[in-house]
Structure 1
Amino acid sequence: MQLVIKSLSKTYPNGVKALKEISLTINQGMFGLLGPNGAGKSSLMRTIATLQEADAGSIYLDGLDVLTKKAEVRQLLGYLPQDFGVYPRISAEEMLDHVAQLKGIGVKSERKELVSALLDKVNLTKDKKKNLGTYSGGMKQRFGIAQALMGSPKLIIVDEPTAGLDPAERNRFYNLLSQIGENTIVILSTHIVEDVRTLCSDFAIICEGELMYNGEPDAAIVEIEGKIYSKTINKEDILQYKENYGIISTQLKGGQLNLRAFSETDLGNGFVPVPVVLEDFYFSKIAQKVDVITL
Structure 2
Amino acid sequence: MLTIRHLSKTYANGVHALRGIDLDIPQGMFGLLGPNGAGKSSLMRTIATLQDPDQGSIELDGLDLLADKPATRRLLGYLPQEFGVYPKVSAEAMLDHFAVLKGVTARGQRRELVEALLRQVNLWDVRKRKLGTFSGGMRQRFGIAQALIGSPKLVIVDEPTAGLDPEERNRFLNLLAEIGEKVVVILSTHIVADVTDLCPRMAIIGQGQVLLAGEPREAIRSLEGRVWRRSIDKAELDSYRARMTILSTRLAGGRTLLHVLADAPPEPGFEPVAPDLEDVYFGRLRAQATARAA
Please say whether Structure 1 and Structure 2 have the same fold, judged by a TM-score greater than 0.5.
yes
1:234 matches 2:229? no
1:218 matches 2:231? no
1:116-163 deviations in whole A, cap 9, x for unaligned? 100010011111111101111111111000000011000000011111
Distance 1:51 1:3 in 2: 17
Aligned residue for 1:190? 189
Task: Give 1:1-295 correspondences, 5 Å limit.
Answer: 2-290=1-289
1:163-202 deviations in whole A, cap 9, x for unaligned? 1111111111111111100110000012221221221110
Q: TM-score, normalised by structure 1?
A: 0.96
2:275 partner letter:
V
Distance 2:173 2:251 in 1: 29
How many residue pairs were aligned?
A: 290
Whether contact under 8 Å (2:81, 2:159) holds in the other structure is yes
Whether contact under 8 Å (1:232, 1:258) holds in the other structure is yes
Whether contact under 8 Å (1:194, 1:277) holds in the other structure is no
1:24-67 deviations in whole A, cap 9, x for unaligned? 01010000000111100111001001011100110001111111
Distance 1:158 1:133 in 2: 21
Where structure 1 has 5 or more consecutive residues not aligned to the other structure, the ranges are: none
Q: TM-score, normalised by structure 2?
A: 0.96
Distance 1:164 1:16 in 2: 27
Where structure 2 has 5 or more consecutive residues not aligned to the other structure, the ranges are: none
**Displacement of 1:269:** 3.0
Distance 1:184 1:64 in 2: 15
Distance 1:213 1:58 in 2: 20
**Where has structure 1 moved over 3 Å in runs of 4 or more?**
none
2:234 partner letter:
K
Could you say what the CA RMSD is over the residues aligned between the two structures, in angstroms? 1.0
